[in-house]
Amino acid sequence: MRLTSTTIALSLGAVGLNAAAATKATTLVSAPGQVAAVPAWDLQSSAKAGSDLAALSKTGVDTSSWHHVNKSKCTLMGCLIESGFYNDTELFYSDNLSKTHGITSRADVFLNGKQVADKSSQVGAYGGHTYDITGLSSKANALVIRAYPTSYYYDFAIGWVDWNPWPADNGTGVWRDVEIKQTGSVALGPLRVVTQIGTPLGSKPADVALKAKAQNLEKTAVTVTASGSITPAAGGEPLTWSKTVTLPPLSTTDIVLTNTVKQPAIWWPKQWGDQPLYKANLTITTADGALSDSAPGSFGFRTVTSRVNEHNDTIFSVNGQPFQVLGAGYAPDMFLRWDTAKWEAEGRYILDLGFNTIRLEGKNEQPQLYEVADRLGIMIMPGWECCDKWEAWSYNDNLAVPTPVWVDGDYVVANASMGHEAAMMQTHPSLLVYLTGSDYWPDDKAAPMYVNTLKGADWQAPIISSASKRSYPAITGPSGLKMDGPYDWVPPNYWFDTEPAANRFGAAFGFGSELGAGVGTPDLSSLKKFLSPADLADLWMSPNKSLFHMSPPTSDFRHRTIYNNALWKRWGAPTSLEDYVVKAQITDYEATRAQYEGYSAMWNAKRPATGLIYWMLTGAFPSLHWNIWDYYMHPAGGYFGTKVGSRLEHVAYDYVRKSVHLINHSLDRKGARKVQVEVVDTAGKTTYSNTVSVTTAPNTSKSVASLTAALSGNRDVVFLKLVLTDGKGVVVSRNVYWVAKGVDELDWDGSDWYVTYVTKYSDYTALNKLAAANVSATAVVGKGAAARGETTVTLENLSSVPAFFVSLNLVDKAGGDVVPLTWSDNYVTLFPKEKLTVSLYMLSNLKLFPVLLVEYCSSNWLSCFGSTARLGSSHENNLIHRAEIRSTEWSAGNATEQHNNGGRGRCASLHSSQWGSRNEVVGIKLQRAWFEHIVLPHLESSYSTICNGPVRFLSRGKDSQASQAASEQHKLRQASTSFGKLCQASYRQL
């Protein structure tokens, strides 16, 4: 029997902590073929624990005074938060995080008093290795890992560039699992699956090969049986077969088992079809029939190809269909903490937005990310990161600090990293490409090394040298991806103004690998979780001030000056914090919608827009920009603008050509459609109305109508509504724009890498004077198991004037946002007398009675009106009674309190001196009972364990009120050992 330990990506960084396994004795593996992660760790400063790892790695060491962490993986900061030493609600509050000091990256590994690896071999964040510990293991074992400081510019780590302030530990710690594996005389490496699909897809057989490297650990030749099995995820009889193989002594042999699947079920991205997954297993049995080892995995039948067109732009194809990439750049947690349930919820947000892809720039994350992506149908673009050691080439002159170019040993580490990541990813059908560089391409030694390693791992997706067009190595050819910005605010017409292409940089043509309008302002409820009162005041009173929750202090993105200039000039100076946040949500909605509509509309243009990766999807910590939903998973303006702009079938307004585009991202929707066009002014008067009959075809976009005449007479802001209906009259897409007399004028010749400046802004200040509108809302909870967590809300504008930017939010009994949840539409504008029904679906097991909050902008929208209704205000004999809000009076400068017995509405967070003297809010009526316990398949955790920061990240022994109070006081817990005294880090496992 042989026992080996697989150390996966020990990005063990700086700080001097000894990490040892939690002292409770645990049997991890007991038979060949079994694999188990080290389940828990103890940590201590090496200043206290000492530097004698041989002694520390013996059994019986007293670690009762160490930090105890019941996690299989965590960086130093993640471990200290998990153990209760720190609280991230406090750390993220205001600028508290800037008061700690950094560290990170190589490691020594000791087992039972003997050294297994040192910092010269266990190096690099992705430097996974397998160590044979057969001769060192015993019945009781102790494992110690000592981590050394790292620099992003000197080590292959996981850096942050200007995404956010750098974490206090620079990623120190065991950020992926350390696994213990037991085998027999023959050990197998990771499973690889190679498929060749016949056409037509699904009706012709597919060839499949199961592969794995077999290592004979004996000094004599052995004859074994290699067996393969493939089982459809939907069930049924597995396909099994085997062959006999003789392995030379102490050799490594590639085992290959081939077979044919007669009618393979094809894996598709979610928008295009189903995601059938097959289970595969390759096993080795010895002559006596005993299992020696196994290599399990899952895979899907799909093909991905790419080509560079005549414009030097990359176009991907999935299963033979041209695939316009619509997605965004993912950011992991700042402390590299992993939560599969949270990622599952994020994956559902991604699909709700209409995205088909996300990009991982140097943040290749955990294996579970790809497993969930396979199951949900999300394409993934992994690759190496920019701006640090990973791109320390002689021709890279954009590094923030002088960085040594690679030496021979660096190529060894990078190649091992590439091999490890390829092995982890190879079987996953969600893989779209691997980018071997980001801003810069690998040099002529690294490029063929990367390509050969990927091909040696049977990589079955394109390999592209970088995410930019700066240059490329000969082995990969041109990247076909542009990285020309913008990264800060630009107006909606920016994306549609595509010629001349030479100075239109990020406009909607080609493949934009990372670009966006720099938006992502959290809503007020989230802002108050991480900003102090002084920070909140700075948002609207100091528009040019550098802010901690933007980018690092030396970054061009440390402040909101460009964004705020636009907000002030286009909407008027904010009069309060609430006013600023509402204007920010409108700005974000408009910006993200235009970007995705621009690229979608130009899919079939003369120079097509082949792909868009928005900068960014999420933030690594509570951030004021570059995220589509905030750190607490609360969706706001930017989210819903994105959602509208990325609809599967859609109708969109072109700000430059004043035309209407018909967009169809599907593979199966076609036929007759109608586009209804209506324009009203701010007083609610209809100035234009028309219906256009059109025909749509799958995977196409085209211009179908001109609106030049419809909009030529407007003297000020008007509202434009586009409604797309199918052949049966069912609404497929509804879209409302606020259109100024003229568009923002851009200084194209003055563009730089992160922004194109505006020389004249559009004027939307007329919207500050909108007349009062009355909106009613009725909520109906769905029936039956299929509708658990689903509620429809019907909004009706009872007025003769538009109700602008109506937002809906669900809060719990304590007033906290209910997350995660999705809305079919939100931040909507209702035309006079218009009725609109939207739906919400909660992605959580909610155990509190929720309250629906309706806010809308009318009668001086600088202070939006609000009402609330409890969806279930009491329950008796398991029945939740109807709740109703009656007319509510609002007096100047005050908000009416909510009464438990009447359900009267209030929206205290929106109080302002700009409130009207009296405005009626018609009641929200609950028509059916709300389920107290809602269970969503595949999400068993309650919402608080998925994404609610103040709940999820409580200190041990502290309740939510105490945690919130600590947050409000924004005082870091006193610690007996400061970061400044930490010099090395070690992990210990017993």
- Catalytically annotated residues: 439, 514
Cα gap 193→527, rounded to integer Å:
46
Cα gap 127→125, rounded to integer Å:
6
CA distances from 364 to 367, 399, 411, 435 (A): 9, 22, 19, 11
Single-letter code of the amino acid located at 846:
L
Q: What is the DSSP letter of 51?
A: S
- CB of 82 within 8 A of CB of 952? no
Single-letter code of the amino acid located at 90:
E
DSSP character string of 419-454: HHHHHHHTT-TTB--EES-SSS---TTHHHHHHHHH
Q: What is the DSSP letter of 785?
A: G
- Number of neighbours of residue 561 by Cβ within 10 angstroms: 16
- Torsion angle in degrees (nearest 10) through CA of 962, 967, 971, 972: 90
- CB of 20 within 8 A of CB of 61? yes
- CB of 770 within 8 A of CB of 805? no
- How far apart are the two ends of the chain, measured CA to CA in Å? 21
SS3 456: helix
Q: What is the DSSP letter of 851?
A: E
Cα gap 87→100, rounded to integer Å:
13
- Torsion angle in degrees (nearest 10) through CA of 305, 308, 310, 315: 50
Compute and round to an integer the Cα radius of gyration of the chain: 29
Cα gap 427→267, rounded to integer Å:
13
DSSP character string of 275-336: ---EEEEEEEE-TTS-EEEEEEEEE-B--EEEEE-TTS-EEEEETTEEE-EEEEE----TT-
Q: Which two tokens stand for residue 800?
A: 């003769």
Single-letter code of the amino acid located at 403:
T
Give 80's contacts (C-beta < 8 A, 6+ positions apart): 43, 67, 86
Q: Which two tokens stand for residue 802?
A: 């538009």
Cα gap 778→792, rounded to integer Å:
8
CA atoms within 13 A on the CB side of 43: 31
CA distances from 202 to 82, 301, 918 (A): 47, 9, 64
- Torsion angle in degrees (nearest 10) through CA of 527, 528, 529, 531: 80
Cα gap 449→360, rounded to integer Å:
21
Is omega for the bond preceding 486 within 30 degrees of 0, making it cis?
yes
Phi, psi dihedral angles at 121 (to 5 degrees): -105, -40
Give 526's contacts (C-beta < 8 A, 6+ positions apart): 622, 630, 631, 632, 634, 636, 817
Outline where 478-574 has alpha helix (H).
493-496, 524-530, 533-541, 561-571
Q: Which two tokens stand for residue 328?
A: 């965004």
Q: Which two tokens stand for residue 338?
A: 């992993």
Strand-pairing partners, residue 187, are 215
- CB of 968 within 8 A of CB of 92? no
Is the CA virtual torsion 149, 150, 151, 153 positive or negative?
A: positive
For 886, the enclosing helix (H) or strand (E) is none
